[in-house]
Structure 1
């Protein structure tokens, strides 16, 4: 059902690169998986006990899907033809036949409004939350209330798709805790608190929003992301300009209720999600405006992968322990393919490096959905110079992959940069190169690699060795190696006695 990965594509990706065709393969596969995930939500709701998903919620879910299907059949206002397959999601066989767009679809025309909404990264966390509730997570009153909120959000997703497609409609939505979020358009703060019914009508690019005991609010759709209104209760969604000329605007999403990262996984390494004011949005714009050039300075393929993979930015608060200078925090989420979570970037080069780092995680996770690279267990027993704690094999592979990309990125910048940036770039390159060198022996020597995993890791090691053709100055290299040596000694002192013995 899912495509195979040709060896040339695997080699490109192992080098932390990937041409347009290899990246399009990953994107198409992730989009197909999103359709299957949504199909799973529909099936789970259909078969759920009425005490978990009442008949009214199930019926509304089917109505919302019908609205999305109609939006998918409607030509976009610009005349772009959409990607086939929303109707194919009616069954798994349909996904197999129609759900995988062609390379021309992925690289050329924009998808229909329905597809834009379904493939938006933050629909993934919404769908996972629904499945958890439908699969036993709604066994308590609080769980059932959360599930009702989750299912109600899909009505807002469908309404936005229909409005952007130009379809007239009238529907009743539900504000969550006094906020009605219309993804990619904005959010309304209702006059009443709690979960409030809100009637929404769309005609000719204008939404009329009616709520109890408050005047009607008119919201006017704009091209791209966002919608404006003169009502103080309305907060428009924001977007940055396209990364390259002709590219669509990049959503800067500080409104979606599903943007919160899973802190139980990150364990405090991330700050909370941010709601931006005008000053913070200007800082984002200042850094973003130079990010394309900074990416290109580290290799044209870095801009190619950002253009192909990045779909939205989610602002995070700056962690209190980051301090000043070029510090920031960032993350990607496996269930939110295409989303980058980041604190406000201090400058374009730092943000470009953040993109390089995080997009490698996105690439490798997407590749792992297509191929089994290893069969190592979850035991955390490997030394990674960038972490104080032992890492499982998969975590070591992920970190090594992203750090290798950063080593290559900063090396290219150092070779081309002027004096003001050259020393900093060499220092960054030397640090990442030394860290990768310390992690590679455990990766290469693992007996748990599959055949494609062996090919991948061997190519990754060859890429590391090739970087030595242009070494950093000796002082940077010496400091980086001393840092790794000290990190290993401290790690061994703390963790080695308690680690599980390796497999015989």
Structure 2
């Protein structure tokens, strides 16, 4: 397969004006077309590499129930008859996810319980879908899982369930397709969008209206629509599909009003939305993948603004992922003398590599810009939340930019990107935000960072031992040094954004049922009674509970960070508050050593004040 011959370079590049837009977090429809062209070339190269390797595997196995050669030939015939149809099938997000996963299986870097023939045989499913849409005559055997046969982009057939993996026969012509598995058959066509017995058609959602309208697939069937492995179809009730269209219409109208320059790019680049199970309020799920250009996995939002922010967020990932396929932003760690590092990202529970941090910065830069405008257009009831979101992500992006902007592994293009974003973000720092949302945003950001450090940062055992000896002898705390700490990822760290989620509840429903942790209404996962006390502003009560737990109980990780928040209104404990907000891992380590090695449970306020006094003295700490 190949594209039409032209005079373009064999290597893709982004025009200067388009690159300038991307580096500033923007990118119009024209540059999206350039990225799409590069992605198409990359996708075809991956597909050819996959086919060549797959043919060898099929030949060596001697028992391969799907003919990859026939599938390839069918794709070539379909391309000759209807190249646009094949383009749609091969450039679908799921096709990219599959090609990447299949190549990793062949290279031995991805393990799976799925038979290798079923993974590689997905090529036949793509060929059957393209041939059927092109309305050419063909016959292919394709993988079937528990009676489900997927024709990506068209829909799926559901036959009586059989063993996990088998094959089905798909035969088509200009009038339709017959899908046969065992003695059962589904007949569909020529109208693929019409439901028929055993046939579930692919649904599409509308973006916008009139001549500017676009469409996006509501992807329920493609087994590679999710990014964590093949997934059985999840067909939505009609009511939920209508809710998706209603939410998308509302979100699109918000984007047209607030960020109209972004909509043309999203319309051209967004290809599919895969519905995911609905999560709790203020914790929507969304994801995307650089291997699946234009695909978004998302949960149904609570309101249109939330989906609008999600579209902006994930499309930023889509753009940056495609840009890195054209020109890298980060050099591999082995190419430099700089060791591979992990960083704090205020939007994640886990420590992140440099590449992931850049992706997060770019995505939340777009989110910050969205809320910056939206808060001015929001109604009175919604405005406090919009102000909070702007303040939260502005400071999160700004602080994270500062932590990585000069990293040795950045390429010149990576440095240009971060400097461009830094310049834009600096211009937002002077924007006014009302006091209550600003205070809650800063507290939420500080809480996340402190809890993250308490989970993932381990102070030097030697310095901890030295501090323990000084405490036991009644001496002043010796100097402490951040540089002596190490990063040890804690796989149990989760829901570190609890303070932010509770702040959102407080801003949108100050007297709501969320205030009662035992209520059966909105549930905030990861929040304990102390988190609710802090969210309600009851710091004295939270302080009493925390002091009792830390003195007499078995405190959970994050208790020292919470104690720092509880001390915020006590001038006499300013040094302890400041220390625990910035470095709670030291209090945790010293307390655990005292308890484990000497059976002591120190007074938490006294220990925090003692450590805080050391941090306030000139020295290597801070």
TM-score range (shorter-chain normalised) is 0.7 to 0.9
Does residue 316 (structure 1) correspond to residue 276 (structure 2)? The answer is yes
CA shift for structure 1 position 197: 4.3
Of structures 1 and 2, the one with the larger relative CO (CA 8 A, separation 6+) is 1
Q: Give the direction of change, closer, same or farther, for the CA distance of 1:263–1:192 in structure 2 (3 Å limit).
A: closer
Q: Give the direction of change, closer, same or farther, for the CA distance of 1:171–1:328 in structure 2 (3 Å limit).
A: same
Indicate the larger mover: 5-14 or 29-38: 5-14
Specify the alignment match of 1:300 in structure 2: 260
Q: Give the direction of change, closer, same or farther, for the CA distance of 1:124–1:327 in structure 2 (3 Å limit).
A: same
CA shift for structure 1 position 351: 0.7
User: Residues of 2 paired with 1:153 and 1:494: CA distance?
Assistant: 42
User: Residues of 2 paired with 1:209 and 1:390: CA distance?
Assistant: 48
SS of structure 2 residue aligned to 1:419: coil
SS of structure 2 residue aligned to 1:333: coil
Specify the alignment match of 2:358 in structure 1: 397
Specify the alignment match of 2:217 in structure 1: 251
Of 200, 215, 227 in structure 2, the residue corresponding to residue 261 of structure 1 is: 227
Of 163, 181, 206 in structure 1, the residue corresponding to residue 150 of structure 2 is: 181
Specify the alignment match of 2:444 in structure 1: 483
CA shift for structure 1 position 486: 3.3
Does residue 191 (structure 1) correspond to residue 163 (structure 2)? The answer is no
Conserved 8 A contact 1:30-1:366? yes
Q: Alpha-carbon deviations, 1:319-370, whole Å to 9, x = none?
A: 4xx2x3x441010022222110011222221111111111111111111122
Conserved 8 A contact 2:258-2:374? yes
How is 1:318-397 mapped onto 2 (pairs within 5 angstroms)?
A: 318-319=278-279, 322=280, 324=281, 326-375=282-331, 377=333, 379-397=340-358
Q: Give the direction of change, closer, same or farther, for the CA distance of 1:273–1:171 in structure 2 (3 Å limit).
A: closer
Of 232, 236, 248 in structure 1, the residue corresponding to residue 201 of structure 2 is: 236
Indicate the larger mover: 4-13 or 285-294: 4-13
Specify the alignment match of 1:28 in structure 2: 37
User: Residues of 2 paired with 1:29 and 1:417: CA distance?
Assistant: 38
Q: Which runs of 5+ in 1 are unaligned?
A: 76-81, 83-111, 265-270
4+ runs of 1 displaced by more than 4 Å?
53-57, 136-139, 271-274
Of 403, 406, 431 in structure 2, the residue corresponding to residue 442 of structure 1 is: 403
Bigger-Rg structure (1/2): 2
Conserved 8 A contact 1:191-1:213? no
Q: Give the direction of change, closer, same or farther, for the CA distance of 1:373–1:151 in structure 2 (3 Å limit).
A: closer
CA shift for structure 1 position 276: 1.6
User: Residues of 2 paired with 1:333 and 1:273: CA distance?
Assistant: 19
User: Residues of 2 paired with 1:394 and 1:293: CA distance?
Assistant: 33
SS of structure 2 residue aligned to 1:478: helix
CA shift for structure 1 position 457: 0.9
User: Residues of 1 paired with 2:275 and 2:284: CA distance?
Assistant: 11
The Cα RMSD (Å) is 2.9
Of 442, 446, 466 in structure 1, the residue corresponding to residue 427 of structure 2 is: 466
Q: Give the direction of change, closer, same or farther, for the CA distance of 1:500–1:173 in structure 2 (3 Å limit).
A: closer
CA shift for structure 1 position 157: 1.4
Q: Give the direction of change, closer, same or farther, for the CA distance of 1:53–1:481 in structure 2 (3 Å limit).
A: farther
Q: Give the direction of change, closer, same or farther, for the CA distance of 1:30–1:53 in structure 2 (3 Å limit).
A: farther
Q: Normalising by structure 1, report the TM-score.
A: 0.80
Q: Give the direction of change, closer, same or farther, for the CA distance of 1:479–1:192 in structure 2 (3 Å limit).
A: closer
User: Residues of 1 paired with 2:342 and 2:33: CA distance?
Assistant: 35
CA shift for structure 1 position 464: 0.4
Q: Alpha-carbon deviations, 1:435-456, whole Å to 9, x = none?
A: 1122121122323322222211
User: Residues of 2 paired with 1:159 and 1:273: CA distance?
Assistant: 18
Does residue 416 (structure 1) correspond to residue 388 (structure 2)? The answer is no
Does residue 165 (structure 1) correspond to residue 134 (structure 2)? The answer is yes
SS of structure 1 residue aligned to 2:60: coil
Q: Alpha-carbon deviations, 1:63-85, whole Å to 9, x = none?
A: 2222222222225xxxxxx5xxx
CA shift for structure 1 position 174: 4.1
User: Residues of 2 paired with 1:468 and 1:272: CA distance?
Assistant: 46
CA shift for structure 1 position 166: 2.1
CA shift for structure 1 position 248: 4.8
Specify the alignment match of 1:78 in structure 2: none
Specify the alignment match of 1:65 in structure 2: 72
CA shift for structure 1 position 138: 10
User: Residues of 2 paired with 1:49 and 1:420: CA distance?
Assistant: 62
| Residue correspondences, number | 446
Specify the alignment match of 2:173 in structure 1: 203
Q: Normalising by structure 2, report the TM-score.
A: 0.66
CA shift for structure 1 position 186: 1.9
User: Residues of 2 paired with 1:396 and 1:170: CA distance?
Assistant: 47
SS of structure 2 residue aligned to 1:241: strand
User: Residues of 2 paired with 1:49 and 1:219: CA distance?
Assistant: 31
CA shift for structure 1 position 278: 2.1
Specify the alignment match of 2:182 in structure 1: 212
Conserved 8 A contact 1:327-1:346? no
User: Residues of 1 paired with 2:314 and 2:175: CA distance?
Assistant: 36
Conserved 8 A contact 1:274-1:317? no
User: Residues of 2 paired with 1:157 and 1:200: CA distance?
Assistant: 12
CA shift for structure 1 position 6: 4.0
